[in-house]
Amino acid sequence: MSTLLVETRRARPADAADIAEIHDSAWRFAYRGLIPGAELEKMVLRRGPAWWETALKRGSRVVVLTFGDAVAGYANVGRNRARGLPYEGEIYELYLRPEYQGLGFGRRLFSDARKELANAGFDGLAVWALAANEPALGFYRAMGGIGVARSTETFGSRSLEKLAFGWNG
């Protein structure tokens, strides 16, 4: 009898190809039809394995979730970029391969990304999501996030609304 373990750990440069694959498949799954096609392609292609390897070697805080031997998801975390929000930390990205979504892995990854921020000394956290991405909005609400801000981001010729969720301590 074998048991598959679900674990999280800090990403290593050797994880770059897996993270790039997750980024590619999760972005295409989540944003097709929301972000204009040509812009989505540019965004996905610019974040290949070499980009991730460089980011990890430079110290980007990335947590990966593994299921058995497979890297199933990642969260990229650090200092909150929106100075107007009263949260020190931010989850910049949290993505799972589409086949691992809806199984509770996102909750585990979110929780461990939050711990990573707390262990780094960041008090509270914020997460931004596109307003039209209903699955993401539902997930962050289910994780206890409170809507705290609105903004827009331009993708090519299209401006899309995004929402910030916040968590204290």
Three-state SS string over 125-158 comes to: EEEEEECCCHHHHHHHHHCCCEEEEEEEEEECCE
Domains of the chain from N-terminus onward: 6-123 (3.40.630.30)
Residuewise pLDDT in 10s, the chain (169 residues): 456 799 999 999 999 999 999 999 999 999 999 999 999 999 999 999 999 999 999 999 999 999 999 999 999 999 999 999 999 999 999 999 999 999 999 999 999 999 999 999 999 999 999 999 999 999 999 999 999 999 999 998 899 999 999 999 7
Joined together, the tokens standing for residue 40 give: 């989505």
Q: What is the pTM of this model?
A: 0.94
